[in-house]
């Protein structure tokens, strides 16, 4: 919101009933910003959601400019929000012609809608132009086309999570240099990195993706330095987090994605003893029983991180990868200590090792 607006002077939201308008209403209500909803419909179902309401003619009605001026004057409107491209363009010119102190509070909706796609295309081009020079014995598979890479970035970044574009680029490069087998992720949360891994596994025919996460509060205490991470645990609803994971991943599953709602060590016992995994949302998926790519991003307490590495690293086959996320972590050194212990104890098994962003990447000989 521009600095010229205050919580005491209302923002006019017009038209008020479209999804982006309702999202903006929720944001204003969180911030304590006064709002007026408005519509040109004789009856708008969104009206009860707004504390104040006004009716305006359609923007192509000759009486619209006068009606808007009167509404601004009588209700003390400080700014206008509209997610409709036609309305935004019209108001942008009208307010200028009126020499009104009231301005649109949002940029062009077309720009807003397209910005994520433009950014994804830019990341795809950058990734193609600056491939990660991986020193590995495994021959790299063909790079993805720009469109495939842009889709990977765009769909991945719609999902909330901490997997940034630098890490997505690194995951893409190691997928090109990965053998066949299962892709196993420890700690999936809302499913952002799980989507990236599953999509790459399908594109490069690596194997099926298995996500491991207890999605229960008693397993997420990190014992981080200062307790900043542990202090925010209460903000999460872990049943809801699993539902969000399912919503995010289900459209992309073709019987090649599933999950175990178990602590990592218990899930390893299941994986070692039986190949099929069943969940109500994804059905039954049968795994190979050998891991080509292991992504560890579970509990970051040292004991938990070490337990994840110890339990699962033995399943990773020659040419496979182990990724320890948050190897560089400002709240503690649990993942780094676990990663260093594995490095020091398995030097003869590791053919490639590097840190990219905050993650440690290891490829086994």
List, for residues 195-204, the tens digit of each pLDDT value: 999 999 999 9
Per-residue model confidence (pLDDT) at position 294: 98
Q: What's domain 11-106's superfamily in CATH?
A: NAD(P)-binding Rossmann-like Domain (3.40.50.720)
The domain segmentation of the chain, as residue ranges, is 11-106, 115-364
The structure's pTM equals: 0.88
Q: Residue 209 in contact with residue 248, Cβ under 8 Å? A: no
Residue 113: Cβ within 10 Å count: 12
Given CATH 3.40.50.300, say whether it is the number of domain 115-364: no
Which parts of the chain have pLDDT scores under 70? 1-7, 135-139
Q: Residue 20 in contact with residue 38, Cβ under 8 Å? A: no
* Count of alpha carbons within 13 angstroms of residue 267, beta-carbon side: 26
Could you give the CA distance from residue 255 to residue 179 in angstroms, rounded to a whole number?
20
Does this chain's domain 11-106 share its CATH topology with 115-364? yes
Per-residue model confidence (pLDDT) at position 7: 65
E-assigned strand segments in 167-286: 182-186, 209-212, 257-260, 276-279, 283-286
Per-residue model confidence (pLDDT) at position 137: 59
**By C-alpha distance, which of 154, 150, 146, 213 is closest to 185?**
213
Per-residue model confidence (pLDDT) at position 139: 67
Burial 272-304 (b: 16+ CB within 10 A, else e): eeeeebebeebeebebeeebbbbbbbbbbbbeb
* Count of alpha carbons within 13 angstroms of residue 2, beta-carbon side: 16
Per-residue model confidence (pLDDT) at position 214: 97
């Amino acid at each position: 919101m521009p600095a010229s607006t205050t919580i005491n002077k209302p923002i006019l939201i017009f038209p008020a009933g479209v999804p982006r308008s309702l999202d903006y209403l929720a944001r204003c209500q969180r911030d304590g910003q006064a709002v007026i909803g408005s519509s040109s419909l004789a009856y708008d179902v969104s009206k009860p959601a707004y504390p104040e309401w006004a009716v305006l003619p359609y923007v192509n009605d000759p009486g619209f400019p006068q009606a808007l001026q009167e509404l601004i004057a009588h209700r003390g409107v400080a700014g206008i929000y509209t997610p409709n491209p036609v309305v935004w363009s019209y108001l942008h010119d009208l307010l200028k012609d009126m020499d009104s102190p009231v301005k649109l509070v949002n940029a062009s909706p077309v720009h807003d809608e397209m910005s994520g796609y433009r950014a994804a295309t830019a990341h795809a081009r950058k990734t193609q132009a600056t491939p990660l020079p991986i020193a590995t014995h495994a021959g790299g598979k063909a790079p993805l086309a720009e469109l495939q890479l842009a889709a990977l970035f765009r769909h991945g970044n719609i999902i909330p999570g901490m997997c940034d574009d630098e890490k997505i680029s690194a995951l893409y490069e190691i997928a090109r240099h990965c053998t066949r087998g299962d892709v196993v992720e420890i700690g999936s949360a809302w499913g952002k990195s799980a989507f990236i891994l599953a999509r790459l596994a399908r594109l490069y025919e690596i194997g099926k993706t298995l996500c491991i996460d207890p999605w229960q509060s008693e397993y997420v205490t990190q014992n981080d330095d200062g307790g900043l991470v542990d202090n925010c645990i209460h903000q999460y609803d872990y049943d809801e987090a699993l539902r969000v994971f399912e919503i995010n991943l289900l459209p992309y599953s073709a019987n090649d994605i599933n999950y175990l709602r178990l602590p990592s060590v218990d899930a390893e016992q299941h994986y070692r003893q039986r190949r099929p995994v069943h969940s109500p949302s994804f059905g039954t998926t049968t795994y190979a029983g050998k891991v080509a790519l292991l992504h560890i991003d579970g509990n970051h307490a040292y004991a938990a991180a070490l337990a994840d590495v110890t339990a699962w690293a033995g399943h990773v086959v020659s040419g496979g990868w182990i990724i320890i996320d948050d190897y560089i972590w400002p709240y503690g050194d649990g993942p780094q200590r676990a990663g260093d212990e594995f490095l020091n104890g398995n030097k003869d098994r590791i053919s490639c090792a590097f840190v990219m962003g905050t993650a440690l990447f290891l490829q086994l000989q």
